[in-house]
């Protein structure tokens, strides 16, 4: 599996500035790595009001179990929410929190 260098915060900043892509080849590797992490470690966005509100959630460790919703992490802009998902996954994989 592709290792992520936690010092490459330039790649995180690239994602933050353009979350929809296209991505540089290096960022594409990072994004793909973050997409294939174990389900129990995976944060996601759940749309609670179509096109207007999203909430941070965590996938369950067992299939069919309920999502863990973070009621205090609500976003009115999709890009802000997807940046938070990226940050949480980055922290899970690298052990370092992005600012």
Give the predicted TM-score (pTM) of the model.
Answer: 0.93
Per-residue pLDDT reduced to its tens digit, 7-61 = 999 999 999 999 999 999 999 999 999 999 998 889 999 999 999 999 999 999 8
The pLDDT value recorded for residue 1 is 77
Residue 7 per-residue DSSP state: T
Residue 83 has, within 13 A of its CA and on its CB side, a CA count of: 16
């Amino acid at each position: 599996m592709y290792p992520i260098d936690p010092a490459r915060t330039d790649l995180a900043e690239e994602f933050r500035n353009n979350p929809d892509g296209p991505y540089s080849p290096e960022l594409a590797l990072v994004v793909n790595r973050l997409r294939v992490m174990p389900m129990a470690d995976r944060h996601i966005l759940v749309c609670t009001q179509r096109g207007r509100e999203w909430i941070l959630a965590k996938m369950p460790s067992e299939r069919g179990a309920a999502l863990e919703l973070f009621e205090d992490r609500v976003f009115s802009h999709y890009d802000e929410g997807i940046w938070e998902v990226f940050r949480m996954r980055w922290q899970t994989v690298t052990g370092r929190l992005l600012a």
